[in-house]
């Protein structure tokens, strides 16, 4: 299939090749990779329909019939736990006339032109389309279709909602549109090894907060997450425990599925909050060295995970267009921390710390995105403290080239 002109031009350009070099001589991605609608459409096919996408947490579907919806790359999806206790990710589009299965059947006039929003709850034993009452069980199989007996060749048994591949990794639900994709877990072995003593699998998530309609590209969000160059500058007052020069440089292979940023802190038992110290008891399985390390990881294109010495936090990044995203932010705590008598108060302090960072990071991301639309937008050089950004860019370019057979 022929590619749009700008996509073909970028793929063949010296500008893209400059972003593939090692950090010391590399440049950032060409600005059009963050702004152009045709490039974003290409990314949907090259990345979002081929890579593992984090869609949520198992706590969101803890009981049979529990479900929540989301939309990724314009594909409406339903995440549901079946009667067999299996978590599935199904298309949310009815196989009859393409109605969204979980859309409201009635709204007030001020919402007539709204697209259906996301929803969650417990659906019992089935999803019933509000338009014509086609009904699907929790595996996606059609089990009811009124007045179809005159339709030639119609058989409910032949109709099922498309289902994505699913893997559960440390309580996070990942899905892949490509049913023949390589399994995710083996490709995260390095991240598992580095983060083993935090015991993410044994942590529980608190309810995530979602910010919608943020006005920057998904890659801008991830670049900011692993950028240590800005710690001493943008976050000078609130990130003193994690200086830019503490970054531990790491190698990166083109087949790696995770980008890891690891750094030394100035003090042990740190926390990203106004006290700079862990608010809860330090995770007892951490080594003396790990108590003075800060660790961030990205599993592109939708997931990011960071660690304190007493907890962890995650981001799920969902693009809604070339220059807009939704971001869900949540916390992970050891089970014992949730039983702490002052848990609500301490968590409020931790949330305040996260807020300090977001109040600086989010307007900065918006400023970068506006600058990327400028005719004077640069393809800038990278500091060694932006090593992980180079890794992310190389990860993306590798997927672009795979998708076109280069």
* Whether pLDDT at 369 is above 70: yes
Give residue 65's pLDDT.
Answer: 98
Looking at residue 276, its pLDDT comes to 85
**Per-residue pLDDT for 76 more than 80?**
yes
Residue 111 is predicted with a pLDDT of 95
Q: Averaged over 163-178, what is the pLDDT?
A: 98
pLDDT at 254: 76
**Interval 227-251 mean pLDDT:** 91
User: Is the pLDDT at 188 greater than 80, yes or no?
Assistant: yes
Residue 316 pairs in a beta bridge with 303, 328
- The string of pLDDT tens digits covering residues 204-226 is 999 999 999 999 999 999 999 99
Taking the mean position of all CA atoms in its chain, how far away is CA 198? 20
pLDDT over 80 at 406, yes or no = no
Backbone angles phi, psi at 61, to 5 degrees: -135, 60
Model pLDDT, residue 158: 98
Domains, the chain, in order of start with CATH, read 53-165 (2.102.10.10), 189-404 (3.90.380.10)
Asked if pLDDT for residue 161 goes beyond 90, the answer is yes
Residue in 243, 211, 207 with CA at minimum distance from that of residue 228? 243
Q: Name the least confident of 69-78, 237-246, 313-322, 386-395.
A: 237-246
For residue 1, pLDDT beyond 70: no
Task: Give 246-279 pLDDT, tens digit per residue.
Answer: 999 999 987 789 999 999 999 899 888 778 899 9
Q: What is the mean pLDDT of residues 2-29?
A: 94
pLDDT digits (tens, 9 = 90+) for 143-160: 999 999 999 999 999 999
- Residue where the block lists tokens 């459409």: 41
Peptide bond into 314 cis (omega under 30): no
Contact of 309 with 302, CB cutoff 8 Å: no
pLDDT above 60: residue 39? yes
pTM strictly above 0.85: yes
Share of the chain above pLDDT 70, in %: 100
What pLDDT digit, counting tens, does each position of 305-347 carry? 999 999 999 999 999 999 999 999 999 999 999 999 999 999 9
Percentage of residues of the chain with pLDDT beyond 90: 91
pLDDT tens-digit map of 106-131: 999 999 999 999 999 999 999 999 99
């Amino acid at each position: 299939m022929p590619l749009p002109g700008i996509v073909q031009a970028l793929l063949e350009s010296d500008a893209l090749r400059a972003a593939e070099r090692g950090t010391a001589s590399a440049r950032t991605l060409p600005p059009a990779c963050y702004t152009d609608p045709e490039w974003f459409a290409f990314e949907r096919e090259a990345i979002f329909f081929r890579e593992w996408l984090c869609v949520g947490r198992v706590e969101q579907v803890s009981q049979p019939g529990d479900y929540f919806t989301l939309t990724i790359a314009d594909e409406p999806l339903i995440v549901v736990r079946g009667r067999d206790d299996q978590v599935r990710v199904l298309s949310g589009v009815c196989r009859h006339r393409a109605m969204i299965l979980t859309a409201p059947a009635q709204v007030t006039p001020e919402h007539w032109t709204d697209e259906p929003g996301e929803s969650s709850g417990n659906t019992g034993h089935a999803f019933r389309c509000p338009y014509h009452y086609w009904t699907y069980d929790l595996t996606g199989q059609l089990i009811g279709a009124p007045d179809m007996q005159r339709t030639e060749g119609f058989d409910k048994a032949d109709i099922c909602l498309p289902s994505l591949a699913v893997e559960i990794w440390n309580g996070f639900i990942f899905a892949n549109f490509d049913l023949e994709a390589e399994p995710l877990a083996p490709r995260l072995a390095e991240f598992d090894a580095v983060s083993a003593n935090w015991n993410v699998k044994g942590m529980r998530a608190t309810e995530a907060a979602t910010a919608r309609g943020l006005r920057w590209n998904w890659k801008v969000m991830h670049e900011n997450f692993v950028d240590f160059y800005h710690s001493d500058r943008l976050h000078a007052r609130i990130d003193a425990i994690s200086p830019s020069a503490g970054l531990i440089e790491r190698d990166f292979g083109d087949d790696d599925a995770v980008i890891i940023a690891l750094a030394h802190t100035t003090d042990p038992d740190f926390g990203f909050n106004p006290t700079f110290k862990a608010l809860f008891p330090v995770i007892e399985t951490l080594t003396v060295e790990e108590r003075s390390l800060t660790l961030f990881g990205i599993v592109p294109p939708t997931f990011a995970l960071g660690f304190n010495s007493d907890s962890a936090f995650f981001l799920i990044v969902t693009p809604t267009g070339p220059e807009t995203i939704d971001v869900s932010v949540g916390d992970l705590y050891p089970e014992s921390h949730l039983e702490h008598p002052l848990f609500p108060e301490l968590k409020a302090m931790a949330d305040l710390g996260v807020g300090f960072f977001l109040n600086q990071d989010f307007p900065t991301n918006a400023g970068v995105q506006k600058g990327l639309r400028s005719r004077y937008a640069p393809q800038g050089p990278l500091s060694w403290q932006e090593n992980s950004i180079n890794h992310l860019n190389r990860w993306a370019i590798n997927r672009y080239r795979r998708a076109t057979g280069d």
